[in-house]
Amino acid sequence: MNFRYHTFAGLLLTAGITASADDDLGRLSANPYDAESTSNPYGAGSPYNADSINNPYGRYGSEYSNDSANNPYATNAPKLYDDNGNYRGRLSANPYDPESTSNPYGQYGSEYSPDSINNPYGAGSRYRADSPNNPYGRGLRVYGQGDGGHDDAGTDATADDSDPMSAWGASDSDAADSGWNFLSPGGDE
């Protein structure tokens, strides 16, 4: 008998835990036509979007929020990643944070560092597709520190701790009713 183990539920659970850890804030890009670009005033760069780094009253755009890219004293600014998942520093106005893109002596802020978006011959080249300075490129992915799935009232907004599938609006009984059994062996006879 050929046994197969269905790990689909395990993959869904892992993806759900990972996805809720950080807020996707779009892409740091000079491309005003890309909907995910922080330079698009009608997309991710909208000053009316609550999670936009361009919203002066939002968590990631306020000059007073510790999570903001625009606070010169922030210690928890949004993180930058390229398309390969490589960390590219923090999008921060803090010139003293060693990981800040505004630190002129740091790895991610120096105009001489190949990892810096401020280096016109390195990661900041306007000819690289993943450079935030390329007006036709994709830029770098921006992630803000997530709030762990809690809404503003402090209540759990995504899932019941006892039922991990509730984050997708499903429950254990829904899976049982559908005839799918992800955790037990099945086989072709």
- Name the burial class of residue 160, with classes exposed (0-12), middle (13-18) and buried (19+) by CB atoms within 10 angstroms of its CB: exposed
> Token pair for residue 146?
């997530």
> Token pair for residue 166?
């509730």
Amino acid sitting at position 38: T
Backbone angles phi, psi at 95, to 5 degrees: -75, -5
Task: Please report the pLDDT score of residue 146 as a whole number.
Answer: 73
If you average pLDDT over residues 165-184, what whole number do you get? 44
78: nearest Cα among 146, 157, 154: 146
- CA 182 to CA 6: how far, in whole Å? 5
Better pLDDT: 149 or 76: 76
Task: Enter the pTM of the model.
Answer: 0.67
If you average pLDDT over residues 90-104, what whole number do you get? 97
